[in-house]
Amino acid sequence: MAISTIIWLVVGVIIAIALGVSVKSWISIYNKFQYWITRAQRKFADVDVIMQERLDNVHALAQIAKKYDIHEYKALKDVVEARSRWTKDAELNEKVKLASELENNYLKLQAIFEKYPDLKADKMHIALMDRDSGIERRLRKTRLEYNRVAQQYNERTRRFPRNVVARAHNFKELDYLTFEGQEAYEPKEIFED
C-alpha cells in the first residue's frame, strides 16, 4: 500500500469519527431542548389549571357586576373577551401573553368593585374573594416555577454551540410570565458546566 493511500485512509477515518461525534452531540443537544421545552409546557400547564379557576372567578365577578348594572362596560367586555380567547389552543408564548392580559383585566374588574361599595359588600363577591386568595397564592408559586424553567431554557438557546442547534430547529426563547400587581421575577444568570 502506498503512503498516500494510508494518509487518505487515516484522514477519512478522522473525518468519519469527527462527523460521528458531531452528529451525536447535535442529537444530544436537540434532545435536551426537547426536554426543556416539554418541561416548560408542563409547568405552564400548572399555570393553565389555576388560570382556569381564575377565569371562572372572573366570570362570576363579572356576573355580579352586571347584576348591579355597572356602567364600566369596557372592563366587563375585556374580561369576557380574555376569557374566550384563553380557551383556544395557542403556542406557549401566546398563552403567556394571554395570561398576563387576563390578569390585567382581573385588576380592572377589582377596581370596579372598589368603586362601588354596595357591590364590594355583596356576599357572593366576599365569598369569591376568599376563594381568590388561595388561587392567588398558587398562581404566584406556579408562575415563579414556570419562569425559572423558561429562564433555564432561554439560557440554553443563547449559548454556543446550543444556539446553533436552537436556530436550526427553530427553538425560540420563551416569554416570562409577569403579572402587574405581583412581585416581579428577575431572572439571574445561571452558570453551568
CATH number of residue 51's parent domain: 1.20.1440.20
Task: Judge whether 159 lies within some domain.
Answer: yes
Count of residues for the chain?
193
Task: Judge whether 11 lies within some domain.
Answer: no
Task: Judge whether 188 lies within some domain.
Answer: no
Task: Judge whether 43 lies within some domain.
Answer: yes
Task: Judge whether 77 lies within some domain.
Answer: yes
What pLDDT shows up at residue 61?
Answer: 76
Q: Which structural domain, as residue segments, surrounds residue 147?
A: 35-168
Are the C-beta atoms of residues 62 and 81 closer than 8 Å to each other?
no
What pLDDT shows up at residue 71?
Answer: 60
Residue identified by cell 477515518 is 13
**CA neighbor of 136 nearest in space, from 108, 103, 110:** 103
**CA neighbor of 70 nearest in space, from 104, 115, 106:** 115
Q: What is the pLDDT along the chain (193 residues), one digit of tens a residue?
A: 678 888 888 788 888 877 777 888 888 899 999 999 999 999 999 988 888 888 888 777 777 777 766 666 677 677 777 777 776 677 888 888 888 888 877 777 777 777 776 666 667 777 777 787 888 889 889 999 999 999 999 999 998 888 888 999 889 999 998 876 544 444 444 444 4
pTM of the model: 0.66
Task: Judge whether 154 lies within some domain.
Answer: yes
What pLDDT shows up at residue 186?
Answer: 45
Our count of domains for the chain comes to 1
Tell me the HSE value of 164 on the side-chain side, using a 13 A CA sphere.
7
Are the C-beta atoms of residues 72 and 150 closer than 8 Å to each other?
no
Are the C-beta atoms of residues 185 and 143 closer than 8 Å to each other?
yes
